[in-house]
Structure 1
Amino acid sequence: MAEHPAYPVGLRLTGRRVVVLGGGQVAQRRLPALVAAGADVVLVSPEATPSVEAMADAGEITWARRPYQDGDLADAWYALIATSDPDANARASAEAERHRVWCVRSDDADAATAWTPATGHSEGVTVAVLTTSARGRDPRHTAAIRDAVVEGLRDGTLVAPHHRTRTPGVALVGGGPGDPDLITVRGRRLLAEADVVIADRLGPRDLLAELPPHVEVIDAAKIPYGRYMAQEAINNALIEHAKQGKSVVRLKGGDPFVFGRGMEEVQALAEAGIPCTVVPGISSSISVPGAAGIPVTHRGVAHEFTVVSGHVAPDDERSLVDWPSLARLTGTLVILMGVDKIGRIAETLIAHGRSPDTPVALVQEGTTAAQRRVDATLATVAETVRAEDVKPPAVIVVGAVVTVGPATAG
């Protein structure tokens, strides 16, 4: 056959029979996309990997537990041949040719009638990269091109503007614990598309420097009307800019719904008739201890962890935390916003049963270049905070998990 480039096409396989021969690693990689495409997948293989078997047990695919037989490709629209038997692969390929079934062969691309491109997805777009001919096929090269394009679309470095009118609205984006690389892919993409960004002090500030010059950045910490009116002012700013037809991102530290007042903003937007998208973020309650080498749970040490706010002291009438009950728990206690109240918190926990020798770790500026870890016990933590000049933001971990990993204090 003369050497011609492959013709790229997108197959619509919903409800159509697709036959996969072989239940090994190739099938394990390809089956999820076929199932996601809505195909009626039939797997023919005497054995399968545990992941493939789990798909069959869940009813996502039909599994014929036997080797390939002539006639297996009847009525198929598409076939993937990936067995370890060269003779079976050749016979199946010949059957596919007779029945005019597009056929991919994992063992011999030259003998196939179809090739699987390197694919990736971003914002409802599938990026598929395909070598133009069998000669000089380089799967790693095509995968690298795919990755570069998808990553660029996701993080906004490859800008592909929408040519249809976007629906104005607000995206409530959790920025993660501080390291700009720990924001979600979706959050980063929405940032790249924003007209206005209203940012918290604890959000990943480094990402703001990457925004195009036309993007208006509003520092939520400096919105006027005073401390106790700040949230109302933020709500009003979100509504005002969205009503002007702009795409607004509310960039918050951690996760919007973990002590982030995210629901207050969602409710205000809903009352104003403004559509809102919520993008979860990595909570500092788990990620910051992890970055400091502290697991919040560990086999044989802690079977639960509890996250509480320490922004009001245990004896403050505004506190909603049942500190006596927390003192009786044996698992991990993670305290956010509690640096200046840790003395009274520690006294309360000890008074209600926690040992004064319970390990405590304070992780300041977690996941950033300024991260540091300071260790203490419940008995010594108040003095340690003063002596080491621990400042917010810091995540406080109380419990035996503090001593599980290697010590990294300082």
Structure 2
Amino acid sequence: MKGRAGKVYFVGAGPGDPKLITVKGAELLAQADVIIYDRLVNLELLNYGKKEAHRIYCGKTPNYPSISQEEINEIIVEHALEGKAVVRLKGGDPTVFGRVGEEASFCLEHGISYEIVPGITSGIAAPTYAGIPLTHREFSSSFAVVTGQKRKDHDPKGDEIRWEGLAKAVDTLVFYMGVKNLPYIRENLLLHGRDQNTPVALVRWGTYDHQETLVGKLHNIVELVEARNFQSPAIIVVGEVVSLREKLAWFEEEGNQEILLKEAMTS
């Protein structure tokens, strides 16, 4: 006979740097019986868990066969019904393109309680580590986060993204999972009125030691990405705030920051 059901904790792992996980997230990892984690989770975070905790990888690697969302839902519920404390560890924040709504709903359908623990989303952290603030009094009073992918079951003739509003009404745009569809993103932004000289940056593996940033303009960013063979995972930032990177970049090239500090002090 099964005992009382356990509990599921949807924990944001943060953007990559293991030190950016929240205190609560680290505490829950240390208490978990089961840790179910994604591809973009820094594996160092698994060291917070108990030695005997069951660790289950359920990442979705692009261009390779991967576990379905339905299977992930079943895995979460299966272990919770055994009375275990389950941490579903998600890269970034669980509520930002993390499908936590689907997984939490599935838990509810099976009588399992849960908590959602926010994390630092890569759409904010990656630009920050690249020296690109998403808002600035002179350049940007608004930003929007947008998926760079289409749903597979969506009508190919339609489009879920309201391009005209994004192109004209929002100062800074942050696209997740959009490297593959960058030509499509550029085409629609230009078609709906975004200036072709708008600065664009791609930040790959944001907050990791091997972070890379590529900067261009809306009219040439696709060609630059192709020339550099710049691959996912990367965050795409579109807006005038990208121009601040030349001055504010601090993470990838600390030497440049020291030069800028000296220039500021002598000017």
**TM-score tier after normalising by the smaller chain length:** 0.7 to 0.9
Give the aligned partner of residue 249 of structure 1. 87
User: Quick one: which amino acid aligns to residue 166 of structure 2?
Assistant: L
Q: What is the deviation of 1:196?
A: 0.5
Task: Find 2:198's aligned residue among 348, 358, 362.
Answer: 358
Taking the aligned partners of 2:118 and 2:82, their CA distance within structure 1 comes to 25
Note the alpha carbon deviations across 1:55-90, whole angstroms, 9 max, x for none: xxxxxxxxxxxxxxxxxxxxxxxxxxxxxxxxxxxx
Report SS of the residue matched to 1:376.
strand
Give the aligned partner of residue 342 of structure 1. 182
Gaps in structure 2 of 5+ consecutive residues: 254-267
Give the aligned partner of residue 304 of structure 1. 142
Taking the aligned partners of 1:372 and 1:318, their CA distance within structure 2 comes to 34
C-alpha change, 1:331 and 1:275, in structure 2 (3 Å) is same
Gaps in structure 1 of 5+ consecutive residues: 1-165
Give the aligned partner of residue 172 of structure 1. 10
C-alpha change, 1:330 and 1:318, in structure 2 (3 Å) is closer
Note the alpha carbon deviations across 1:17-39, whole angstroms, 9 max, x for none: xxxxxxxxxxxxxxxxxxxxxxx
Give the aligned partner of residue 28 of structure 2. 190
Tell whether the 8 Å contact from 2:9 to 2:88 is kept in structure 1 after alignment: yes
Give the aligned partner of residue 159 of structure 2. 319
Taking the aligned partners of 1:241 and 1:332, their CA distance within structure 2 comes to 41
User: Quick one: which amino acid aligns to residue 383 of structure 1?
Assistant: E
Q: What is the deviation of 1:211?
A: 2.8
Taking the aligned partners of 2:66 and 2:205, their CA distance within structure 1 comes to 25
Note the alpha carbon deviations across 1:217-256, whole angstroms, 9 max, x for none: 1001279xx9686111111001100111111100001111
Q: What is the deviation of 1:283?
A: 1.1
Is the counterpart of residue 274 in structure 1 residue 116 in structure 2? no
Q: What is the deviation of 1:395?
A: 0.5
User: Quick one: which amino acid aligns to residue 254 of structure 1?
Assistant: G
Q: What is the deviation of 1:406?
A: 2.8
Task: Find 1:260's aligned residue among 98, 118, 126.
Answer: 98
Taking the aligned partners of 2:47 and 2:92, their CA distance within structure 1 comes to 19
Percentage of pairs with the same residue: 45
Tell whether the 8 Å contact from 1:312 to 1:341 is kept in structure 2 after alignment: no
Q: What is the deviation of 1:389?
A: 1.5
User: Quick one: which amino acid aligns to residue 244 of structure 1?
Assistant: E
User: Quick one: which amino acid aligns to residue 187 of structure 1?
Assistant: G
Taking the aligned partners of 1:271 and 1:208, their CA distance within structure 2 comes to 29
Task: Find 1:390's aligned residue among 213, 226, 230.
Answer: 230
Tell whether the 8 Å contact from 2:39 to 2:60 is kept in structure 1 after alignment: no
Taking the aligned partners of 1:354 and 1:256, their CA distance within structure 2 comes to 31
Tell whether the 8 Å contact from 1:363 to 1:396 is kept in structure 2 after alignment: yes
Q: What is the deviation of 1:370?
A: 1.3
TM-score, scaled to structure 1: 0.56
1:1-400 maps to which residues of 2 (within 5 A)? Answer: 168-221=6-59, 230-312=68-150, 316-317=156-157, 319-329=159-169, 331-400=171-240
Tell whether the 8 Å contact from 1:198 to 1:219 is kept in structure 2 after alignment: yes
Q: What is the deviation of 1:391?
A: 1.3
Tell whether the 8 Å contact from 2:140 to 2:240 is kept in structure 1 after alignment: yes
Tell which has more relative contact order, 1 or 2 (C-alpha 8 A, sep 6+). 2
TM-score, scaled to structure 2: 0.85
Taking the aligned partners of 2:98 and 2:126, their CA distance within structure 1 comes to 16
Taking the aligned partners of 2:18 and 2:12, their CA distance within structure 1 comes to 11
Taking the aligned partners of 1:203 and 1:190, their CA distance within structure 2 comes to 15
Taking the aligned partners of 1:316 and 1:333, their CA distance within structure 2 comes to 23
Report SS of the residue matched to 2:68.
helix
Taking the aligned partners of 2:95 and 2:66, their CA distance within structure 1 comes to 19
Tell whether the 8 Å contact from 1:199 to 1:219 is kept in structure 2 after alignment: yes
Tell whether the 8 Å contact from 1:309 to 1:336 is kept in structure 2 after alignment: yes
Q: What is the deviation of 1:343?
A: 1.1
Report SS of the residue matched to 1:187.
helix
Taking the aligned partners of 1:384 and 1:285, their CA distance within structure 2 comes to 21
User: Quick one: which amino acid aligns to residue 249 of structure 1?
Assistant: V
Q: What is the deviation of 1:324?
A: 2.1
* Greater Cα shift, 204-213 or 176-185: 204-213
Taking the aligned partners of 1:202 and 1:318, their CA distance within structure 2 comes to 30
Taking the aligned partners of 2:144 and 2:24, their CA distance within structure 1 comes to 28
> RMSD of aligned C-alpha atoms?
2.4
Q: What is the deviation of 1:356?
A: 0.9
Tell whether the 8 Å contact from 1:312 to 1:318 is kept in structure 2 after alignment: no
Report SS of the residue matched to 2:232.
coil
